[in-house]
Amino acid sequence: MGMLKRATGAAVAAIAAAGYGAAARAAEYLGQPTPGAIDMQPGASPLRHQQMFFHNVILLPIITIIALFVLFLLLWCVFRFNKRANPEPARFSHNTPIEIVWTVVPVLILMFIAIFSFKLLYAFHDMPPPDVTVKATGNQWYWTYEYPDLKVAEYTSNVLPEDKAGPALYRLAVDNPIVVPVNKVVRVLTTGADVIHSWTIPAFGVKIDSIPGKTNQTWFKAERVGTYYGQCSELCGINHAFMPIEVKVVTQPEFDAWVASKGGGAAAAVPASSAATPAAASSAPAASSAPAASAAPAASSAPAAH
């Protein structure tokens, strides 16, 4: 018995050490995938923190308790009601109190989950007045970006070759990333020029489809300066794996300097009503055409996505 306790304690300690080590590596790799990680990518926006709370504090304990309870019932039935332990089985087939319990309890569990789920869903749709608006257009197989309020013209963002990006950031880094200021509300308007794409940044908790003929919108507020990576998350063709997204979060002076380098200017004031009606953006028609990207990688030069 003592040996079993020591072995159990050693296993728990090993799992805890692995968890702490993975968390430390995740902090080091903030904004990108972490080798050997066992948890979600660390959050860098309020929406992401709410997502992680919902998953780690609400869903995981409920899932674990249900799984252990079902395992206990299975083992109990196997060992308590087998032919050797119970040679003469009971003849009844109904138990009204148990049937009421296993109907009502799941309903209560789902109602409890719905409280937090609806709150999170509302947070995604309740966008504060935006400080910066970025229009992201998905193309096969690259992104184009535009800052309409700042008069920054549309530019193309392509995946960097492996010899320039390096093995760790290949198919994550791009030649022309998005640049946004830290601690500012960024509205992302996205559409597709050809097929359905999906604009996704895990560290911000953002994932929204880019659909031809329709403009969807989402938002985020980056809390830390740094570089954050994502990828198209909707299967969009042979080079789907070569549509990375890179967002550089900088200070406000650095952002102003970048806008000036792109020939843009100060943003006009955003009416409060425009931020309060996200549905209007969702129903807005997408741009009728997207300029061809001369710098886009040819399908023949990139390996097929697996």
pLDDT > 70 in the chain, percent: 77
Clarify whether residues 178 and 47 are in a common domain.
no
Q: Is the same domain home to 187 and 75?
A: no
Both 221 and 248 in one domain: the answer is yes
In angstroms, the CA 290 to CA 145 distance is 11
Cβ atoms within 10 Å of 144's Cβ, excluding its own: 22
* Confidence class for position 217, pLDDT limits 50, 70, 90: very high
**Measured distance CA(21)–CA(13) in Å, rounded:** 12
Question: Do residue 195 and residue 103 come from a single domain?
Answer: no
Structure confidence by residue, pLDDT tens digits, 141-178: 999 999 999 999 999 999 999 999 888 899 999 999 99
Same domain, 262 and 211: yes
What SS3 state is found at 176?
Answer: coil
Could you give the CA distance from residue 271 to residue 129 in angstroms, rounded to a whole number?
8
How confident is the model over 269-291, as a mean pLDDT?
Answer: 42
Give residue-wise pLDDT tens across range 37-70. Answer: 788 888 999 999 999 999 999 999 999 999 999 9
Chain segment 66-86, per-residue pLDDT in tens: 999 999 999 998 988 888 887
Are 114 and 145 within one domain? no
User: Do 165 and 62 belong to one domain?
Assistant: no
| Residue 263 belongs to a domain | yes
**Top-confidence residue, 34 or 132:** 132
**Sign of the alpha-carbon dihedral angle for 10, 12, 16, 19:** positive
What Rg value do the Cα atoms of the chain yield, rounded? 25
* Interatomic CA distance for residues 236 and 199, integer angstroms: 12
Q: What is the mean pLDDT of residues 1-21?
A: 49
CB 171 within 8 A of CB 204: no
> Is residue 199 within 8 Å of 217, Cβ to Cβ?
no
Q: What is the pLDDT of residue 114?
A: 96
117 and 22 within one domain: yes
Residues 103 and 237 in one domain: no
Rounded CA-CA distance 241/304 in Å is 8
pLDDT, tens digit (0-9, with 9 covering 90-100), for 110-148: 999 999 999 999 999 999 999 999 999 999 999 999 999
Cβ(144)–Cβ(197) below 8 Å? no
What single-letter amino acid sits at 238? I
Domain boundary among 104, 125, 146: 125
Give the pLDDT score at 167: 87
Check residue 303 and give its pLDDT: 40
The count of domains in the chain is 2
Question: Which tokens belong to 180?
Answer: 């946004």
Task: For residue 287, count CB atoms less than 10 angstroms from its CB and return exposed for 0-12, middle for 13-18, buried for 19 or more.
Answer: middle
3-state secondary structure string, 207-236? EEEECECCCEEEEEECCCCEEEEEECCCCC
For residues 139 and 78, membership in a common domain is answered with: no
Alpha-carbon gap, residue 231 to 243, rounded angstroms: 6
**Do β-strands 178-181 and 244-250 pair in parallel, antiparallel, or remain unpaired?**
parallel
Under 8 Å between Cβ of 199 and 179: no
Q: Where are the beta strands (DSSP E) in 150-215?
A: 152-157, 178-181, 185-192, 197-201, 206-210
Q: Supply the DSSP symbol for 159.
A: B
Q: 232 and 194, same structural domain? A: yes
The Cα 170–Cα 164 span in angstroms is: 8
pLDDT reading at 279 higher than 50: no
pLDDT band for position 5 (50/70/90)?
A: low
Q: Say if residue 16's pLDDT is above 50.
A: no
Whether 299 is in a domain gets the answer no
- Tell me the sheet residues that pair with 199: 208
The answer to whether position 250 is within a domain reads yes
Mean pLDDT throughout 246-264?
Answer: 94
In a domain, 34, yes or no: no
- Residue 259, pLDDT > 70, answer yes
> Within this chain, do residues 279 and 137 fall inside the same structural domain, yes or no?
yes
CB 161 within 8 A of CB 298: no
CB 54, CB 46: distance < 8 Å = no
Residues spanned by the domain of 244: 132-289
* Preceding peptide of 102 cis, ω within 30°: no
Given a cut of 50, whether residue 33 has pLDDT beyond it is: yes
What are the phi and psi torsion angles at 286 (to 5°)? -75, 165
